[in-house]
Structures are given as C-alpha cells and as structure tokens.
Amino acid sequence: MKYVVSKSKICFYLIFCWFIVGCGNAAPKGKSDFSDCKYGKPAAIFSDKIPDITAHSFNIFQNEGIELVRFTNGMVMELIQSGCDNIVQSFKFQLPGDHRKKNALDWVEEAVIQLRYLGGLDPKFASLSFWGNEIEQRKSAIKLGSTHDIQQGFKVKIDKVLSSSESILLLELSQ
C-alpha cells in the first residue's frame, strides 16, 4: 500500500511543529520584567561583606533569582527565589561528608541548624532563625519530601540528596 501525503498537509505539519517549538521557548508575557509582581524583582539576600561568607554571586535567570554563597565553615548554599505574587525560596545546602546514616528527623534538625546559622550571620537575617524555631516545634510532624504548614499561609518542604562524599539538604519556604 502506497501512502500519499499532500503538500498542504506537509505545510500544515511544519507550521504546527514550528508553532509548538516556538511557544515552548517563549518567556512568560508580562512577568519577565517583574513589573506586575507583588514583590517585584528578586534581589540578593546575602553579600560577601558578611564575615562568614567567603564567596557570593547573584544572577537573575528567566524569572528566578539564583544566589550562590560559600561560607568559612566549608558549606555551600544555593538559594533560588521564584514566584511573582507567592514567593518560594528554595535553599540547597551542600554538606561535606557522608550523611547517609542520618534518619528523617536528623534531616529536619539539620534544616533547623542551617536556618539558625544563617539567622545568626547578621541581625537582618533573624527571621531565618524564627523559621528554624517554627520547624523545630513541628519536627515530629514533618515528613521528608512533603509540604507542611508551619504558619498560616507559610509552608515548608524538606528533602535530601545523598552521596558518600557530600549530601544536599533541600529546604523550601513558600507562601
């Protein structure tokens, strides 16, 4: 059986494919410049002027602010700020060493430790210690990989990525 495809069908499929590929690469209209966002454009939270920070960078990529911070204790943290009217702050703490034997509660406690550490860097970061305290009060109810309410309108999600040489603590604070 011979299959015949007309030129008009070929043109239709080519235009359809071009449209799909073009739409997939388009930036969200009205949001790429953050002018319609309740909180505006993401801004760096940390700075290399803080004594415990040895390296710092901040960049805006598409509609996210990405901050990379290296601390004197060897820890590296990436903070991704996303959202327009509902902000999400995703912390990724690279922890040197083998943490594969830690249980779920240990990871929740590690999140508390890291938030308190950040909160102690400078008085302007005190709210991070507050979130650490809120998580500690609810630590027995927090399950890794699940989102939990910690205050009215505020949520937390804690997870981990393990290897033998370093582990990553994932902490997400959102509205």
Q: What is the pLDDT of residues 101-134, one digit of tens each?
A: 999 999 999 999 999 999 999 999 999 999 999 9
Q: What's the whole-number average pLDDT of the chain? A: 82
Q: Is residue 154 part of a domain?
A: yes
Q: Is residue 14 part of a domain?
A: no
Q: What is the mean pLDDT of residues 80-98?
A: 91
32-81 pLDDT, tens per residue? 567 788 878 889 999 999 999 999 999 998 889 999 999 998 899 999 99
Q: Is residue 35 part of a domain?
A: no
Q: What is the pLDDT of residue 32?
A: 56
Q: Which of 69, 160, 70 is nearest to 106 (CA)?
A: 160
Q: Is residue 108 part of a domain?
A: yes
Domain tally, the chain: 1
Q: Is residue 39 part of a domain?
A: no
Q: What is the pTM of this model?
A: 0.78
Domain that holds residue 108: 53-174
